[in-house]
Chain A
Amino acid sequence: MEAAVGYVSGDADSLLMATELRLGLPGTDDQKPKTTFSPPATPRGKKRTADAFEDSAAAEAHKADDDVEAAPPVAKAQVVGWPPVRSYRKSCFQAAASKSKAHKKAEDASSNSNAPSAAATAAPASTNGGSFVKVSMDGAPYLRKIDMRMYKGYRELREALEAMFVCFSGADTAASNPCEYAITYEDKDGDLMLVGDVPFDMFSGTCKKLRIIKRSEATGLGSK
């Protein structure tokens, strides 16, 4: 994680605004629609060791309270622990839903239902209990987390990430210029890969961590 020191060069005001806690009814707070993030004390939810009953939906999303009004209407970021359903219950549905999907597919197939493949085509999140990945951005003082299952494709993902990190672009890029940054990810083997090469499903299954880096540092990673 980047040290806060490197961030000082950014615009002081937008920094301050970025860290200001703003709470209130929707629509009442609209001065700086972009700076709608809670202070660094962002609830991150707990991180438990990988466990069949763990995480799923509630666990690791972050809070973006004013997402409703401010951000582009992309997949709305989830809030930790809301709605208040116990993680135990949520995780039971992950397991049950994928298993019953597998069974359904098996039953629907006329004969020789191939259960393993049916299970594989069911929600990929079932195999891996957690679908939340950390997203870091060079220059940002804190990380975020997103739920990979919220996105059906690369475009949606990119848009969501842009919305999330827009406040960290700093003043030197007037409006946040998405082309400035490349999105990379760390896969199962720990290698840093450029996002976009493989089919989205495959990507979301193997992605462990996302990193948004300045394009200038992305040389050698891709042809874009």
Chain B
Amino acid sequence: MSTTAPTPHPCPIPQPLPPPPIPSHSSSSSSPASGMSEAAEEPDSPPTHMSEDSSSSGDRWTPDLRGGNGGGPRSAPPDQVLENVLESVLEFLTAARDRNAASLVCRSWYRAEAQTRRELFIGNCYAVSPGRAVERFGGVRSVVLKGKPRFADFSLVPEGWGAYVQPWVAAMGRAYPRLERICLKRMTVTDDDLALVAQSFPLFKELSLVCCDGFSTLGLAIIAERCRHLKVLELIENSVEDEEDALVDWISKFPVSNTSMESLMFDCVGVPFNFEALEALVARSPSLRRLRVNHHVSLEQLRRLMARAPQLTHLGTGSFRSDAPEGGGMSVSELVPSFAASRSIVCLSGFREVNPEYLPAIYPVCGNLTSLNFSFASLNADDLIPVIRQCHKLQTFWVLDTVGDEGLRAVAETCSDLRELRVFPLDATEDSDGSVSDVGLQAISEGCRKLEYILYFCQRMTNTAVIAMSKNCPDLVVFRLCIMGRRRPDRITGEPMDEGFGSIVMNCKKLTRLSVSGLLTDKAFTYIGKYGKLIKTLSLAFSGDSDLSLQYLFEGCTRLQKLEVRDSPFSDKGLLSGLDSFYNMRFLWMNSCSLTTRGCREVAQRMPNLVVEVIREQDEMETENVDKVYLYRSLAGARSDKPKFVKVL
């Protein structure tokens, strides 16, 4: 899913060349300046053309190219013409990877590229200071920022760790008056920050917050009220902090005239809201195509919304339950016309408290659906299969493991075009029964040959099934298998899962992301190191026998950018085997391994442009053992906003 646009390469600079340009230092050629385009991590995560920029490109090269005219005395006009031409040409480059490469050609190109870059992608908000970023890139219209390490989603990063958006908003507020779009992931965003956004950017159009925290309905009200040109407000899996008695009626704050809203997603805002205001908003938003409501919307209310917006393409259905007491609600047949009239729907989600009786109402749109998210709907195979059998065009399917192997078989038989499958556990504990297994995985592999992305939680797995998938689905880009029981072996042979994962890396030549689980020895990592040449993101848990595993990884996975490790028997030796890789990586996270302060300190001492954070729990005593370490390359050095429990070595 590369997002590198097929752009024409910039024409080589024509003949009348001024004195030879200052060549860039070669040390940066192997650096992350070859920032790779990164596929968006979820289909729901908004910017599909989110590409990766490693603004921390110069590990050793500190460009001193701000202002100034480079080189010796030259008359200004020819140079200026050159730069203007260059700028017009570079406008065509959109992918960060191409832009990064272009910026390294010479000072002139560096400047021109810096002025024409419209989207700024910062994969780690601590890798560079906001001031430095805005200083280099003057004409940015869209910013993507990512904050906390991903393991924060699983409560492994204590509260108050950081990733505050405030300094970024402040810097951008001064530098980018024409900013239109902000996308944040895993950052702390306060209501004040949202107010500052509304105040600083009069042309603001798109706000997307994914897995963020710190704001409430008050901040949303401010955005709604003051961003008159708002088109997109997408709130995805955020932790919205509201006191039930201090709610703000934010939906009422949108402009009273017709709005330019195209996308409104607030399923994660879990508090009740003013439904009439929403209905009126939808009625006066002719451009609205995507609407995802929270679970406080009943079927009766959903019907009203759909009547107002028959042009929707993406619909999040709320609770999908009648609010009437038993026997009093509307019948299924009363709901069917709403879906029949919505000819444009291609993506359905929600179903947060679904009453299965009403599911048949969606049949009219099933044949058009390319994306279906049942992952918050506790439905069993009997409820799901009839729906699945109608969805011939499905490309993305998120579901709970209650679908069972049987349901997955139905998917395999019906959805031959499937590209992405995510099966989540209803009961996310190690001893749960788990209704899907290797049987389901095998079935999927046989029916969905075009599969590119799979996330699969299960309790039982076999190497055979994984091997089958590796052979049947050669287009796999992301393979995340989570066998929930720690270190569980092949359920039939009792062997480690080495061969299964080995065949994935061997046969799936496009694989860039891998998450492993089950019983794994060092052997698995010899395979991954040997064949996983394109892997950028790797997650390990309870795996490996020794430091050799890490060694194999660091030696073999030359494109590794993000490594997350937990509860594995790796010591300082393993950590140090990665020294040559760390500058080429965005970060390394390790928790509950066998690291010590001494080892981490050695890394910090030998790698000056690396920030090594040791994270302790609140009431943890300080010992030589390090439980959590998070290290990342950075041009900004140790951050000034670190809490007490973080120690930068």
- Taking the complex as formed, is B257 at the interface, i.e. its CB lies under 8 A from any CB of chain A? no
A residues in contact with B426, CB < 8 Å: 93
- Comparing A42-50, A152-160, A213-221, the segment that makes contact with chain B is A42-50
User: Which of B151, B211, B237, B593 has the largest number of chain A CB atoms within 10 A?
Assistant: B237
- Taking the complex as formed, is A90 at the interface, i.e. its CB lies under 8 A from any CB of chain B? yes
Known: A25-B487, A53-B240, A103-B353. A44 touches B620 (CB 8 A): yes
Which of A55, A86, A100 is the one whose CB lies under 8 Å from B353? Answer: A100
| A79-102 Cβ-contact flags toward B at 8 Å (1 or 0) | 111111111111011011101100
Ranked nearest first, the 3 interchain pairs of A and B with the lowest CB-CB distance are A81-B154, A41-B627, A85-B428
> Is the beta-carbon distance between B239 and A53 smaller than 8 angstroms?
yes
> Is the beta-carbon distance between B541 and A89 smaller than 8 angstroms?
no
Known: A42-B620, A46-B158, A58-B155. A53 touches B569 (CB 8 A): no
Known: A85-B425, A89-B424. A23 touches B567 (CB 8 A): yes
- Taking the complex as formed, is B22 at the interface, i.e. its CB lies under 8 A from any CB of chain A? no
- Taking the complex as formed, is B274 at the interface, i.e. its CB lies under 8 A from any CB of chain A? no
**Distance between Cα atoms of A63 and B621 in the complex (Å):** 17
- Taking the complex as formed, is B70 at the interface, i.e. its CB lies under 8 A from any CB of chain A? no
Chain B 416-435 interface residues, beta-carbon cutoff 8 Å to A: 424-426, 428-431
Interface residues of A (CB under 8 A from B): 1, 4, 19, 21, 23-26, 38-49, 51-55, 57-60, 63, 65, 68, 76, 78-90, 92-93, 95-97, 99-100, 103, 106-107, 113, 141-143
> Is the beta-carbon distance between A58 and B428 smaller than 8 angstroms?
yes
Interface residues of B (CB under 8 A from A): 151, 153-159, 211, 237-241, 268, 270, 295, 321, 325-326, 352-353, 355, 375-376, 378, 424-426, 428-431, 457, 482, 484, 486-487, 519, 539, 541, 545, 566-569, 591-594, 616-621, 623, 625-628
**Distance between Cα atoms of A88 and B156 in the complex (Å):** 14
A residues in contact with B519, CB < 8 Å: 25
**Distance between Cα atoms of A46 and B155 in the complex (Å):** 6
Q: Which residue from chain B places its CB closest to the CB of A56 in the assembled complex?
A: B428
Q: Is the interface of B mostly helix, strand, loop or mixed?
A: loop
> Is the beta-carbon distance between B237 and A86 smaller than 8 angstroms?
yes
> Is the beta-carbon distance between B378 and A97 smaller than 8 angstroms?
yes
B residues in contact with A39, CB < 8 Å: 623, 625, 627
> Is the beta-carbon distance between A96 and B352 smaller than 8 angstroms?
yes
B residues in contact with A86, CB < 8 Å: 153-154, 211, 237
> Is the beta-carbon distance between A79 and B240 smaller than 8 angstroms?
no
> Is the beta-carbon distance between A43 and B628 smaller than 8 angstroms?
yes
Known: A1-B619, A81-B154. A96 touches B376 (CB 8 A): yes
**Distance between Cα atoms of A52 and B272 in the complex (Å):** 13
> Is the beta-carbon distance between A24 and B621 smaller than 8 angstroms?
no
**Distance between Cα atoms of A45 and B154 in the complex (Å):** 8
A residues in contact with B618, CB < 8 Å: 44, 47
Q: Which residue from chain B places its CB closest to the CB of A39 in the assembled complex?
A: B625
For the complex with contacts A81-B155, A81-B566, A97-B378, 19 further pairs of A-B residues with Cβ separation under 8 Å are: A19-B623, A23-B592, A25-B519, A38-B627, A41-B616, A41-B626, A42-B617, A51-B241, A52-B270, A53-B240, A83-B428, A83-B457, A84-B153, A85-B425, A88-B239, A88-B268, A90-B428, A106-B325, A142-B620
**Distance between Cα atoms of A84 and B154 in the complex (Å):** 6
Chain B nearest CB from A94 CB (Å) reads 11
**Distance between Cα atoms of A86 and B156 in the complex (Å):** 11
> Is the beta-carbon distance between B430 and A82 smaller than 8 angstroms?
yes
> Is the beta-carbon distance between A81 and B156 smaller than 8 angstroms?
yes
**Distance between Cα atoms of A210 and B195 in the complex (Å):** 43
B residues in contact with A88, CB < 8 Å: 153, 211, 237-239, 268
> Is the beta-carbon distance between A76 and B431 smaller than 8 angstroms?
yes
**Distance between Cα atoms of A43 and B430 in the complex (Å):** 18
Known: A23-B567, A51-B239. A43 touches B156 (CB 8 A): yes
User: Which of A19, A53, A97 has the largest number of chain B CB atoms within 10 A?
Assistant: A53
8 inter-chain pairs at a CB distance below 8 angstroms, sorted by A residue, are: A38-B592, A38-B627, A39-B625, A46-B159, A51-B239, A63-B592, A82-B486, A86-B154
**Distance between Cα atoms of A211 and B465 in the complex (Å):** 48
Chain B nearest CB from A180 CB (Å) reads 25
> Is the beta-carbon distance between B482 and A43 smaller than 8 angstroms?
no
**Distance between Cα atoms of A75 and B485 in the complex (Å):** 14
Which of A4, A21, A84 is the one whose CB lies under 8 Å from B621? Answer: A4
> Is the beta-carbon distance between B617 and A54 smaller than 8 angstroms?
no
Which of A42, A45, A95, A100 is the one whose CB lies under 8 Å from B155? Answer: A45
Q: Which residue from chain B places its CB closest to the CB of A76 in the assembled complex?
A: B431
Known: A41-B620, A87-B155, A113-B326. A57 touches B569 (CB 8 A): no
Known: A43-B156, A87-B155. A141 touches B621 (CB 8 A): yes
B residues in contact with A46, CB < 8 Å: 155-159
> Is the beta-carbon distance between A76 and B430 smaller than 8 angstroms?
yes
> Is the beta-carbon distance between B593 and A23 smaller than 8 angstroms?
yes
**Distance between Cα atoms of A87 and B592 in the complex (Å):** 20
B residues in contact with A24, CB < 8 Å: 545, 569
**Distance between Cα atoms of A156 and B567 in the complex (Å):** 27
Q: Which residue from chain B places its CB closest to the CB of A57 in the assembled complex?
A: B428
**Distance between Cα atoms of A12 and B159 in the complex (Å):** 34
A residues in contact with B457, CB < 8 Å: 83, 85
Q: Which residue from chain A places its CB closest to the CB of B570 in the assembled complex?
A: A23
> Is the beta-carbon distance between A100 and B378 smaller than 8 angstroms?
yes
> Is the beta-carbon distance between A59 and B623 smaller than 8 angstroms?
no
**Distance between Cα atoms of A103 and B322 in the complex (Å):** 11
**Distance between Cα atoms of A83 and B424 in the complex (Å):** 10
**Distance between Cα atoms of A89 and B352 in the complex (Å):** 11
**Distance between Cα atoms of A161 and B132 in the complex (Å):** 53
> Is the beta-carbon distance between B325 and A80 smaller than 8 angstroms?
no
B residues in contact with A78, CB < 8 Å: 429-430
**Distance between Cα atoms of A58 and B594 in the complex (Å):** 22
> Is the beta-carbon distance between A82 and B155 smaller than 8 angstroms?
no
